[in-house]
Structure 1
Amino acid sequence: MGRAQARQAQNKGSGPARGGNKPKKKGIRRFFTWKKLLAYFIAVIALGMGAFYALYLSVDVPKGNSAAKLQSNVYKSSDGKTIARIGEVNREEVPLAKVPEVVRRAVVAAENKNFYTDPGVDLKGTARGIFNTVIGRGKQGGSTITQQYVKNYYLDQSQTVTRKVKELIISLKVQDEKSKDEILEGYLNTSYYGRGAYGIQAAARAYYNKDVDKLSLEEGAYLAALLQAPSQYDFGPASTEAGKTNAKKRWNYVLDKMVEQDWLDGGKRQGMQFKEPGKPKAAAGLKGQNGYLIEAAKKEIIRDLMREGDGRSAKDAEQIFAAGGWTVTLSIDSKKQAALEKAVKDKLLEDLDPKTREVDKHVQAGAVSVDPKTGKIVALYGGADFATHQISNATRADYQPASTFKPLILASALENDSKTQDGQPINSSTIYDGTTRRPVQGSTIPYAPPNEDEHSYGPVTVQKAMNDSINSVFAQMVVDVGMGKVKKTAVDLGMKSDFDETPAMALGSMGASPMEMAGVYATLDNHGKKVTPSVVKSATLRGQDFKLPGAIGDRVVERNTADGLTSVMTGVVDDGTASVVSNPAYQVAGKTGTSDDNKSAWFAGYTPGLVTTVAMFGEGQGGTQVTIQGTGGGGRVNGGKYPAQIWAAYTSSVYGDGDDETKFDIETDSGFTSVQGPAPTASGTPSAPASPSPSSTPSKSTQSPSSTPSRSASDKPSNKPTNKPTNRPTPPIPTGPTVPTGGSTDGTRPNGGRETQIPPQ
């Protein structure tokens, strides 16, 4: 037998002799047997329980009452002067017995239907909240009424892991020390209901002007609904239709939960009608423009609190601010603010006679003026008086911005290198068919908008279409670029995203606020770097600086695109619907807008150092939108009339306060050249372009009088200043494919220079 065979025989024989043991695991595997894993798990659970028990013993229920720490909020102007001191504590404790049982049950049904049987904490929801906080998701998990009471009364609204753990432990202790009725009473008296009201008694007075014991179930259910999102569900004058709809849904939810708990008869539930609360009263110190300024600052701080890394909810952010202790310094320039108010008074309000003209009663004006280099709002006009009209016309977004949206379509075309249906690059020189009611091509949604007064232009350049705001051109352009791309560009520039992608968006059929549009145009003025208008210069909370986000963001469109739009929009002022704002001292770029049925009129314009958007709205009874046609005894109110006149009066009065530049610093190669080209022929085929100018310096168009569109006196005043500086390039008319024509091609407009309306959809 060989040695190898002998060893094999020996090894085989050694197995039984050693009892048949398996080879031992080596390395890290020896630590991961099933028995050891189970032991580890039990050890971790034991350690966790031990740590939690140690924490339970170490954390005491604090004394304090957070409501007792409530302070006023102080608002100051940019020069440090106190504008207002707002926020006297609106709170009155009431015993639980004074709260009707049906109202108590409405609150429990809305917030914690198992309140009377739960252990006081929601371990699953709290664990989820801690996990979300750790990973930065921000949304807090579910919590019981007991936990919310502890947060309101003993702790604060911060969203840290430490605070959440304390909340859990204190809730367990409070559950042992207090009865359910005591906890519910404390919760009802410390919760924030909006309108500065802490506690259900203050809420009953703020919303229904009655004591809590007089509340009906329908009213109590609404107060219970408010607890989830007070500002979003408020039926105040500044609330949106979406907010009102969501509030009613929440109100219905509360009542349905009461039926589920057998606290409300289903038949009685079916017959209940929602009762709208009364309008909020303006606090002292909020009269005139102060109220609009302070409300804008308040919303901005709450927004910034929500944006912080801990991701707190809107309710928590609002409650933190309402608790007071803030000193907020506004960015408003007192001289510019006074000039804006004077411009509105001189150019609009003095022209109104509400006693003899019904339409004049419905006129509302709003304006926002922004420094594009800092993003700070230097002047804001929200309405005649906050004490009598608490909807801020500067920030409301329920009216159409109309043709002020059209430049955003061209911006998207430049940004995306878009082409027409026949493959031509889109820029200021591109030829489009300006025939009224021309059906758009390339869209699955039929659309054929009329031009102003049904005027047909035939083949026109994009520059001409922008100057005269030709609907049919931009309706086709939005399809050529792609509605999704146009929307993306608009949102990138600063518009909200809650609008549909249809050809009608070309005419500004969505809602937008003057502040929103001021941000969009400021971004263009700032060469494509995002500007988010901010009215807060600085803020402190109980002496500690509150970090504000930057008002100037990253580049959202190329400089080539932004400057190209500035170049084109100087044409709207030089040769288009906004000639009234022309000034020999400085260049102006801008766009007018007039919405469907003349319910709003706009002018959004800018100089190299100041962006201002002015809008007029027709507001009837109950906030309904009505026409402003006939305002001041005239006819149609176009963006080139009152809005542009206010803009011109304001801008000219404040120009020169600082180191204001007179000319735009334009850098663009998007088809904006200094070549003077001929007008297109009636057939739509342009004649040969003139030789390009060797100079790179942009030159002003030298159209002959016969080719200059006629305009009415109200929109193109005869005393227009001359010899003003300009560097708006005059685009060439390129050769290209024949463009279908229709209607008049003589370049005249029967009501010349007036803004286009959005046709009924």
Structure 2
Amino acid sequence: MGRAEDRRARRRGGRRAAPTRSSAAPTGSSAQEEPVTVVGGRAAARRAARGRGRAKGKAGKDGRSLIRRMFTWKKIVGAFFGMCLLGMGAFIALYMMIGIPKGNADATLQSNVYQYSDGSLMTRDGQRNREIVGLDKIPKSVQRTFVAAENKTFYKDNGVDLRGTARGLLNTLSGKGAQGGSTITQQYVKNYYLTQNQTVTRKLKELVISLKLDREKSKDYILAGYINTSYYGRGAYGIQAAAQAYYRVDAQDLSVEQGAYLAALLQAPNQYDWAIASDTGKKLVKARWNYVLDNMVEEGWLDKAKRARTTFPTPKPPKAAPGMGGQTGYLVNAANNQLARQLVAQGTADNVNDALTMVNQGGWTITLSIDKKKQAALEKAAKSQLTSKLDPKKRSVDADVQAGAVSVNPKNGAVVAMYGGQDYYKHYRNNATRTDYQPASTFKPVILAAALDGGAQTQTGKPITAGTMYDGTSRRPVVDNGTKVGFAPENEDNASYGEITVQTAMNKSVNSVFAQMGVDVGMKKVLKVGGDLGMDTSKLNARPAQTLGTMGASPLQMAGVYATLDNHGKKVTPTIIKSVENSRHQVDLPNPIGDQVISREAADTVTSVLTGVVDDGTARVSVRNNAERDGRKVAGKTGTSDENRSAWFSGYTPDLVTSVGLFGESKKSGAQVSMHGAAGLPRVNGGGFPAQIWAAYTFGVSRTGLKFDLDTTQGAAVRPTYSQTPSRTPSQTPSRTPTSESPTSQTPSRTPSRTPSQTPSQSPSQSPSQSPSETPSGGGVQNPLDPNGGQQP
């Protein structure tokens, strides 16, 4: 038995304790006791180890057990269904409580009142441009374009898109804004029964009313309501007004192509209006037009062969609304657009389209920042200096010249005057706010500001200052760390200047210098500073060609850039709205004066340099020598784009900033064209008509006796300016005198600038004894006489 028990114990791994010794066993029987004793010892050790492990893990197991007991799958599922039931109950309660209200869109429409800054009446916007037409007056194919554009399941759904609505609610709660998803029924409910306000309450009401409306009314009733209440832009509410506004026909005579455009337009009327759309806007609306027609083919509503034959129906030019003639229409639209953007920014509306609908529903009293005296002066200057000299009967190109201008108070950002074109009735698009033309050389101060603000150096390691020397040779290849970047810009008239200072390069607007400077600074830095100052550079790819101002910009944006320079580097965002009143909506206008975006020293140095453009550069004829100047201190910059499609002058006194742009726009096609030959001149330059308009206006309304309060030791405003003798003969003698002022071979002038704000203690008695014989391939050369590393000669 003993051996059998031992075998069983060994098979059990020693878990069995050693058997009690029998009294009959011999006392000296060690042969049987030894193996049992060993097995029993191992078993005890294992039991002790397991006991210690259980003791250590007991607390953790107790905690996990508690969590398991609290969050069992049954409890989780139960909680989920409980929340679902609670939500369903709440929705049922809402459904019982909310009924279909009476339509209030038409009942609450009022005129908007627009006032000048002094509170005097500018205009009222008159009656709504709306005419309700029955669905039987709208061709079936045109009806379906709206369904194809907005809601392909319209004829099958129950009036709501639960997924889209849930997404909208989450976006509203999280502050992300709307992302679409509404059905035609929901959009009609929002337009006619509710408001455009972006709130959770409105979205829930929209959902409930849409469900009820879909049950109580026919799809045709809802579609007719949607088509007749939507806003199509150009002041047109409803399809009948839209058909007249865009195609000069009644709704019943619309083609499927025209209907598809109007349906596409509803997504963004302001952006997709062909008359004012940017190139991007035109591409987007064409893409959406194609999307609408393709959806119709997919749904079996349009024959594929007919679809293949369709062509885009270009809308006709707009007609201005009554009471909007002259500059009034431009001012009203600019104010409406700014108000709409603010409504979106503060979360009152989902998007600009909804916000414009809110504005056009009326009931607003909008006081503009426009000063009546300055507005009249700007209009008079444009007429006397430009439009009176244009004669389309003699020269067809004269009909293609458009002008825009914006004047801003740099201390508070108020737009005190705006010129949008010769007449809102004749030219619908506002030239003061359009961004499709190049600002050209008016961008050069941005490059210098970026260099000064960032403490940039030339590629030879010298600080970039007003006195830094650069090679002004025309078509000089731009290099980056000794490598040519494939860009060699031509100076105006292909004039070469040899070694010149940054100050002289700004005065004469030398492209080759600023192209190299832009690479020295870094084009990403340049574009960032441009954006900080007020330009729209966020989507631009950094490349050297942009040093010539090849991006788009508006007079409004450029006025903001130069106002920020005038305001010592504190951001100025021009605003045309002084105050807003409405009984249903609260509008919080932001402060036009923002943070310090570049250092004061950098901004003031740019201002100082720009005084040289007026006194010794491309603007001297129109501005410096103007009889009405009366000692005013002036800084500014001219600009003329490639092929003379645009010409600019942006300039400022201590109390007023004004940007003037001329644009070549074909009267027939609206395409950008050259202004060569306009008014009988070979070329329209920034120092010509734009500077003349600027001077006639500014010297008539700005204060005299003011000085620039500059924190800088550089530039033409604080020390004498000189014209330097080129170190070598220009590579090419211009065939005619450059309009921007050709380089001259003369000894340095000892006459101080005509507008210094302080007199230097001592002027250099002579030009530098030695000019660098060759500019390093990396860029600028430093003048050894400059205490900052670059004294201008």
Note the 1:654-665 alignment, pairs <5 A: 654-656=701-703, 662-665=706-709
Q: 1:668 aligns with which of 699, 712, 725?
A: 712
Between the two proteins, the alignment pairs up a number of residues equal to 695
SS of the aligned residue for 1:173 comes to helix
Aligned residue in 2 for 1:469: 509
How far residue 353 of structure 1 moved from its aligned partner, in angstroms, is 3.2
CA contact (8 A) 2:349 2:355 kept: no
Change (3 A) 1:484 1:179: same
CA shift, 1:500, in A, is: 4.1
Deviation (angstroms), 1:678: 8.6
- The residue type equivalent to 1:232 in the other structure is Q
- Please list, as runs of the form range in 1=range in 2, the aligned pairs for 1:21-420 lying within 5 A after superposition: 30-236=69-275, 238-310=276-348, 312-420=350-458
* Cα displacement (A) at 1:677: 9.4
Shift of the alpha carbon at 1:671? 8.5
2:207 partner SS: helix
SS at match of 1:707: coil
1:603 counterpart SS class? strand
Cα distance, 1:29 vs. partner? 5.4
CA contact 1:683–1:741 (8 Å) conserved in 2: no
Choose 603-612 or 640-649, whichever is displaced more. 640-649
Q: Deviations over 1:109-147 (max 9, x none)?
A: 111101111121111110110000000000244011111
- Asked if 1:739 corresponds to 2:758, the answer is no
Question: What is the Cα deviation at residue 410 of structure 1?
Answer: 0.7
2:547 to 494, 506, 521: 506
Mean Cα deviation higher: 182-191 or 497-506: 497-506
In the superposition, the TM-score normalised over structure 2's length comes to: 0.82
Structure 1 residues 283 and 30: alpha-carbon distance in aligned structure 2, compared to 1, 3 A threshold: same
Aligned mates of 1:655, 1:133 — CA distance in 2: 47
Q: Distance in 1 between matches of 2:441 and 2:179?
A: 42
Q: What is the distance in 2 between the residues matched to 1:722 and 1:673?
A: 7
In the alignment, the residues of structure 2 paired with residue 705 and residue 479 of structure 1 have an alpha-carbon distance, to the nearest angstrom, of 31
Q: In 2, Cα distance between the equivalents of 1:704 and 1:256?
A: 67
Of the candidates 757, 761, 769, which is equivalent to residue 726 of structure 1? Answer: 757
Question: How far 1:524 moved relative to its partner?
Answer: 0.6
Alpha carbons of 1:111 and 1:722: their partners in 2 closer, same or farther (altered >3 Å)?
A: closer
Following superposition, the deviation at residue 407 of structure 1 comes to 0.7
The match for 2:574 is: 533
Deviations 1:686-733 (A, max 9, x none): xxxxxxxxxxxxxxxxx9973359xxxxxxxxxx99965534989997
Question: Would you say 1:576 and 2:620 are equivalent positions?
Answer: no
Contact 1:371 1:378 (8 Å CA) reproduced: yes
Code of the aligned partner of 2:197: S
Q: 1:507 to 1:160 in 2, by over 3 A?
A: same
Q: 2:556 aligns with which of 515, 523, 530?
A: 515
Distance in 2, Cα, partners of 1:262 & 1:510:
44
**Does the 8 Å contact 1:567/1:728 carry over to 2?**
no
1:636 is displaced (CA, Å) by 2.4
Say if 2:519 is the partner of 1:479: yes
Any conservation in 2 of the 1:106–1:221 contact (CA below 8 Å)? Answer: yes
Distance in 2 between residues matched to 1:408 and 1:734, nearest whole Å: 32
Quote the Cα distance in structure 1 between the aligned partners of 2:723 and 2:188.
Answer: 74
* TM-score scaled by length of structure 1: 0.86
Are the aligned partners of 1:431 and 1:733 in contact in 2 as well (CA < 8 Å)?
A: no
Counterpart Cα distance in 1 of 2:225 and 2:595: 47
Q: What SS class does the counterpart of residue 669 from structure 2 fall into?
A: helix
Deviation readout 1:561-593 (Å, 9 max, x if unpaired):
111111111111121111232335221111011
Structure 2 letter corresponding to 1:394: A
Q: How many angstroms apart in 1 are the aligned matches of 2:95 and 2:521?
A: 63
Among 604, 611, 616, which residue is 2:662 paired with? 616
Return the match for 2:675 from 628, 641, 644: 628
Q: What's the C-alpha RMSD, in Å, of the aligned pairs? A: 3.0
Amino acid at match of 1:648: A
Give 3-state SS (helix, strand or coil) of 1:546's partner: coil
> 1 CA distance for matches of 2:322 and 2:63?
83
Corresponding residue of 1:753 = none
8 Å CA contact retained: 1:609, 1:661: no
For structure 1, which segment, 672-681 or 469-478, has the greater mean C-alpha deviation from structure 2 after superposition? Answer: 672-681
| Structure 2 residue 608 is matched with structure 1 residue 567 | yes
**2:651 matches 1:605:** yes
Deviation at 1:604, TM superposition (A): 0.5
Distance 1:574 1:59, change over 3 A: same
1:706 aligns with 2:742: no
Q: Using the alignment, how far apart are the partners of 1:736 and 1:634 within structure 2?
A: 38
**Amino acid corresponding to residue 502 of structure 1 in structure 2:** R
CA distance in 2, matches of 1:221, 1:734: 73
1:369–1:378: 8 Å Cα contact kept in structure 2?
A: yes
CA distance in 1 between partners of 2:295 and 2:673 (Å) = 40
Alignment of structure 1 residues 415-454 onto 2, 5 Å: 415-442=453-480, 445-454=485-494
Distance 1:281 1:190 in 2: 21
Report the alpha carbon displacement of residue 361 of structure 1 after superposing the two structures with TM: 2.7
Contact 1:206 1:280 in 2 (8 A): yes
> Does 2:690 correspond to 1:650?
no
1:398/1:277 CA distance change after superposition, 3 Å: same
Q: CA deviation at 1:394?
A: 1.2
Gaps of 5+ in 2: 1-16, 18-43, 52-60, 729-743, 778-793
Deviation, 1:87, is 4.3
1:465 match: secondary structure: helix
Which blocks of at least 5 consecutive residues in structure 1 are unaligned? 13-21, 685-702, 710-719, 743-761
Q: Which amino acid aligns with 1:666?
A: L
Amino acid at match of 1:226: L
Which residue in 2 is equivalent to 1:587?
633
Q: Which amino acid aligns with 1:485?
A: K
Paired residue for 2:734? none
How far apart in 2 are the matches of 1:722 and 1:458? 22
Structure-2 change in CA distance of 1:185 and 1:721 (3 Å): farther
Equivalent pairs: percent with the same residue? 58
**Residues 136 and 311 in structure 1, CA contact (< 8 A), matched pair in contact too:** no
| Equivalent residue, structure 2, for 1:714 | none
- Structure 1 consecutive aligned stretches of length 4 or more whose deviation exceeds 4 Å: 22-29, 669-684, 720-725, 727-738
Provide the C-alpha distance between the structure 2 equivalents of 1:666 and 1:390, rounded to a whole number of angstroms. Answer: 41
SS of the aligned residue for 1:706 comes to coil
Q: Which amino acid aligns with 2:448?
A: L
Deviations 1:655-677 (CA, angstroms, capped at 9, x unpaired)? 23xxx661111113679996779
Instruction: Indicate if the aligned counterparts of 1:441 and 1:476 stay in contact, CA closer than 8 A.
Output: yes
Worse-matched range after superposition: 542-551 or 87-96: 542-551
- Alpha-carbon displacement from aligned partner over 1:25-79 (angstroms, at most 9, x marks no partner): 7766542222222222221111111111111111122123323321111111112
- What is the identity, as a one-letter code, of the residue corresponding to 2:671? T
2-side partners of 1:86 and 1:446: how far apart?
54
Report the alpha carbon displacement of residue 362 of structure 1 after superposing the two structures with TM: 2.4
Question: Greater shift after overlay, 432-441 or 290-299?
Answer: 290-299
Deviates more, 1:105-114 or 1:619-628: 619-628
State the Cα deviation string for residues 175-220 of structure 1 (Å, max 9, x = none).
Answer: 2211222222222222222222222222222222222121111111
- 3-state DSSP of counterpart to 1:49: helix
Shift in Å at residue 375 of structure 1? 0.4
